[in-house]
Structure 1
Amino acid sequence: MELLVASAVGLMTAVGIYLILRLRIFPVIVGLSMISYACNVFIFASGRIVPGLPPILSKTAVAYTDPVPQALVLTAIVISFGMTAVIVMMGLGAFLSAGDDRIDLSEDSEE
Structure 2
Amino acid sequence: MAWIYLTAAGLLEVAWAYAMKQSAGFTRPGPTAIMAVTMAGSFGLLALALRTLPLGTAYTIWTGIGAVGAFLVGITVLGEEVGALRLAAAALIVSGLVLMKLSSAH
Q: TM-score range by the shorter chain?
A: 0.3 to 0.5
- The TM-score with structure 2 as length reference comes to 0.44
Which has the higher Rg, Structure 1 or Structure 2? 1
Q: Which has the higher helix share?
A: 2
Could you say which structure has the greater relative contact order, defined with CA pairs below 8 angstroms and 6 or more residues apart? Answer: 2
- The TM-score with structure 1 as length reference comes to 0.42
